[in-house]
Structure 1
Amino acid sequence: MPLDRGTADRDMKIAMIEVIVVAIPFAGGSKSAESAWGKKNASRADSLLVKVTTEGGVIGWGEAFGFTAIPAVKAAIEEVIAPLCIGVSALNIGSLMLDVQKRLHIFGRSGAIMFGISAIDIALWDILGKATGQPVHRLLGGAAVSELACYASLVRYTDPQLVVENVNRALADGFSHLKLHEVTVDAVREARKAAGDSVDITLDVNCPWTVREALDMSAKLRPFNLRWLEEPIWPPENFDGLARMRREGGIPIAAGENASTLVEFQQMLSAGAVDFVQPSPAKMGGISELQKVFALAAASATVVMVHTFYDGPGLLASVHASAALGSKDSLVEWRYFDLEAQLYGDAVLPKNGMITVPHGPGLGYDPDADVVRNFEVRS
């Protein structure tokens, strides 16, 4: 039911911000290699959820990019960010988030502080949608589609045979778009052989190479017809190097998950560094900043492919934004894990490689209380 304006000031002030760490084990026995997101042979997926409650009892859910950085992000939210938000209207998202960013900029414009701000921002959009009876995508202008295509984002396996096994599983599950996180030519070659020529394959290598090394690798990778090569260069903010890769490498370039501010995205786009820009809402300021990146990208005719290597509120934020602000080419990243449980049960599981855009108020779904309770990590 839409919020009565007369009760807004009284009931919509932020009363409580809770940080909840959830660790869901992998159900399958496949082993991952060590990569940017976690440890070698990781046995569980760790998520950091944020629950924001107003004085009137409206609850919003957010998510911060965490993984092995969760202790730092949790501390940043509880000890630094949350005290600045308590008592402020949850409906004043833009002004509150800008004030928090300004007051905390001295501690860094990326990492734990920005991850925590991102989670709270997403939760506030969830609250705004629930308070006004609208899904987030309608608050962003309305969805032009009812479902979006997904790509199955595989963890790094290194062993080409394991790569092939998981490519085949993803194809059997109905995905026609895949992302690999491999860093060897052999693994990519075997994935392309298994998938055939009609399947889109992207490759995220997580910033391992110099520009020269990346150019040499791109020459070896060109025969595999990658839709894009993601973050090939160290450091990730070397936008001139990425632009050179885009000019000379012969493979479309994607980047942006490690950019934390609108200025970085502006610099990236101005440099002509990417064919696909990849803001990560659980890392770079939440929905408030994400919508601005869509506007920047539109001005430079660059496709936005939102980074969503998570499966909680951060994923839902990406779906709403892509449905409302994206193009016909937009894809949703689906973290292709064998988890014992999903935060939303079966509600958001892709079917035949497609994910349904939620139409309930706010983000559309709250995390399943039983899943949160059963897999919560209590310190």
Structure 2
Amino acid sequence: MKIENIEAIVLRIPFSVGGISAAGVWGGAGMQAADSLLVKVTTDDGLVGWGETFGFVGIPAVKAAIEQMLAPACIGRDAAQIEAIGLDLQRRFHVFGRSGAIFYGLSALDIALWDICGKAAGLPIHRLLGGARRDRLPAYASLIRYADPESIATNVRRAMEDDYRSLKLHEVDLTVIRAARDAAGPDIEITLDTNCPWTLHEAIDMAQALEPLSLRWLEEPLWPPENFSGLAALRRQCGIPIAAGENATTLMEFHHMLGAGAVDILQPSPAKMGGISALRKVFALAEAHNTQVMVHTFYDGPGLLASIHATAALGDAEAMIEWRYFGMEAQVLGDTIVPQAGMIAVPDGPGLGIDPDPEVIQRYRVS
């Protein structure tokens, strides 16, 4: 089961978000399409595995890292040696960064290799991880940033009409966040991802102002995101649970974050931080620190599936799946993965359980 070919595939799929998106960390204002990067790994005996990296404006750098550095180092290797390949790639290329393009590409390769091994064994990945504890997981609607009270209220109501009982905002303006809470009412859970905008003192002031809004968690409130001592200080003064981790990559970063007492909720991102191999270790590390894991799943393809399998097998009874609530023109994985009544099904087929739709790839591929 030797790796014969690795292909990086870029997709651009239009979406509608019930209004005009504001500028954010993913890209400029008025975004109308989501770029994603899939990785297709083929073995010499014909098995195909699929992976995914974090997308948007960072795709060209990740694609180059895969094609020019990672893929040549993998051709001819045993696809079943997932851990050995990952460690070798990290050691070989660590001088070029322990985060960003190299790690994103490595993450996609890891997910694809797990897909191959599951298919070879005839088992879903959640079985390889110990077995799913649930066959469906609650999903929360993760909204784009609108930065407008009327638009956020409209889209909060839209998500509620689609039966979501938990929502994530990506807003930083108090007026907009209050409008979302007013539209949702007291019974809908709201989480807030601010994408690292504030100093510690600013975050303390904002947390105090946000406290009456009954947020489930406050996500990544500090700049820089690796300021774990600052997060710990905020957590000690904040009445809202603190969540972070999507920008951490290595296991050591998660170790330092948990050791500092920085978070109530840990958010590893499998398409950024080493794939399923690293994700299962982070689950174990979090359990040792009595910390809840809510996997970051801002993806539409194999990265989303990796999160679902790991959460089903390793997550606690309250673990949820983030669903990118974008109104995609087409679903990379087809309609079977779309949440129903606020719940997302855990695939039970071999490997990741669902392959990307070839017609969607053909129609929306840009490189």
Report the identity percentage: 63
Give the AA of the match of 2:315. Answer: G
2:219 is matched with: 230
2:146 is matched with: 157
Distance, in Å, in 1 between the alignment partners of 2:27 and 2:159 is 21
1:299 is matched with: 288
- In the alignment, is residue 61 of structure 1 matched against residue 61 of structure 2? no
Q: Is the partner of 2:253 in helix, strand or coil?
A: helix
1:88 corresponds to which of 60, 77, 83: 77
Give the AA of the match of 2:120. Answer: A
- How much is the aligned-residue C-alpha RMSD, in angstroms? 0.7
| Deviation of the 1:126 alpha carbon | 0.3
| Deviation of the 1:66 alpha carbon | 2.3
CA displacement 1:94-125 (0-9 Å, x = unmatched): 11111111111111100000000000000000
- In the alignment, is residue 124 of structure 1 matched against residue 113 of structure 2? yes
2:161 is matched with: 172
2:239 is matched with: 250
Distance, in Å, in 2 between the alignment partners of 1:127 and 1:226 is 40
Distance, in Å, in 2 between the alignment partners of 1:329 and 1:63 is 26
- In the alignment, is residue 206 of structure 1 matched against residue 195 of structure 2? yes
Distance, in Å, in 2 between the alignment partners of 1:142 and 1:103 is 33
TM (normalized to structure 2)? 0.99
Q: Which 5+ residue runs of structure 1 have no aligned equivalent?
A: 1-11
Residues 362, 16 of structure 1: CA spacing in aligned structure 2 closer, same or farther, 3 A cutoff? Answer: same
Residues 28, 302 of structure 1: CA spacing in aligned structure 2 closer, same or farther, 3 A cutoff? Answer: closer
Distance, in Å, in 2 between the alignment partners of 1:46 and 1:63 is 11
1:275 is matched with: 264
CA displacement 1:66-114 (0-9 Å, x = unmatched): 2101000000000000011100010010111111111111111000000
2:328 is matched with: 339
1:36 is matched with: 25
CA displacement 1:218-255 (0-9 Å, x = unmatched): 11100100000000000000000000111102111000
2:34 is matched with: 45
- In the alignment, is residue 148 of structure 1 matched against residue 137 of structure 2? yes
| Deviation of the 1:29 alpha carbon | 5.5
With 315-324 and 23-32 compared, the bigger mean Cα shift is at 23-32
Distance, in Å, in 1 between the alignment partners of 2:136 and 2:300 is 17
Whether contact under 8 Å (2:17, 2:325) holds in the other structure is no
Distance, in Å, in 1 between the alignment partners of 2:341 and 2:268 is 25
Distance, in Å, in 2 between the alignment partners of 1:242 and 1:350 is 33
Q: Which 5+ residue runs of structure 2 have no aligned equivalent?
A: none
| Deviation of the 1:28 alpha carbon | 5.5
Give the AA of the match of 1:124. Answer: L
Q: Is the partner of 2:40 in helix, strand or coil?
A: strand
1:98 is matched with: 87
Distance, in Å, in 1 between the alignment partners of 2:71 and 2:323 is 30
CA displacement 1:321-366 (0-9 Å, x = unmatched): 0000000010100000011100111110000110000000000000
